[in-house]
Amino acid sequence: MHLALVQLDITWEDKPANHTRIEAMLDEGQVPRGSYVVLPELGDTGFSFALDRIVDDRSVAWATGVCRRLGVWMQVGHAVWGPGGRGRNRATIVDPSGRVAGHYEKVHPFSYGREVEHFTGGDSLLRVDAGAAIVCPLICYDLRFPELFRLAVAGVRPNGPAAEVFTLGASWPDARQTHWRALAIARAIENQAYVAAVNRIGRDPHLAYAGGSIVVDPAGDVIAEAGDEATVLHADLDLSALRAWRRSFPALADIRPDLLGRIPTHDTPPASAPPSP
């Protein structure tokens, strides 16, 4: 499975400009067909609370066109309307045919940054069968909550569904960059899973961001990592090695489901092959 993490400086509340930049980066980065592309949290607007300006249908419409043209999967971060006039911070997954495979809504709005005043938290997880692997999308602040990750792998049993790759889009401020890296590594080790986390760079009207997008393997080894520049970070995942590691060191079999909470988990049907060029 090939991953492509798009780390960019997001133009504030300007979807067309960001869409143009992301497409150019994907074209220049020569992303292979069938790749799974991950964009940052609210990747085409920045971390804005101006819902009247950032909520519309363009994010998914644009992503479906790009996925069809390039034959890739894409995890696109954008805002949608939620209950009570608040928003939801969403990651929509689009497959290589341009079909929406599912969406995940950030369970943990960032109360310290006042996100909770504008966005309502989601209440379910998503596991996407992307053909090569079972992928679980998450968003930014979710990285600090290990129970979400554990619940996504709690189905680890013979032939049972379980997340193998966590893909996380973020707008993670540079003030807590050391936490970002440490938590990504910890989540991979704890869950014997790949963690692919993409962060933005640059500044918005409130904060600075240092990038540091990272891909960690199930043993906790960093296999790809970006600095603070705009880039497409590529990584090839060895799912056979992941499954062999889970079999040879079956720590996940010792999960105590009775000690875990419950959250609805939506599983997509198996993926079809990407369309031919």
> What domains can you pick out in the chain, each with its CATH number?
2-267 (3.60.110.10)
The predicted pLDDT at position 260 comes to: 87
15 is catalytic: no
Q: Which of 67, 105, 115, 140 is catalytic?
A: 140
106 is catalytic: yes
Q: 245: pLDDT confidence band, cut at 50, 70 and 90?
A: very high
Q: Which of 41, 105, 115, 164 is catalytic?
A: 41
Judged against a pLDDT cut of 80, whether residue 271 lies above it is answered with: no
Judged against a pLDDT cut of 60, whether residue 275 lies above it is answered with: no
- The token duo for 175 is 């003030």
Cα 142-43-269 angle, rounded to 5 deg = 65
The predicted pLDDT at position 158 comes to: 43
Judged against a pLDDT cut of 60, whether residue 160 lies above it is answered with: no
pLDDT in tens, 17-49: 999 999 999 999 999 999 999 999 999 999 999
Q: 272: pLDDT confidence band, cut at 50, 70 and 90?
A: low
Helix ranges (H only) for the chain are 15-28, 51-54, 58-70, 146-153, 177-191, 239-248
This prediction's pTM: 0.95
190 is catalytic: no
- Percent of the chain at pLDDT > 90 equals 89
Q: 274: pLDDT confidence band, cut at 50, 70 and 90?
A: low
**C-alpha span between 95 and 147 (Å, rounded):** 27
- Percent of the chain at pLDDT > 70 equals 96
Q: Which of 106, 115, 136, 164 is catalytic?
A: 106
**C-alpha span between 124 and 22 (Å, rounded):** 28
Cα 118-113-183 angle, rounded to 5 deg = 120
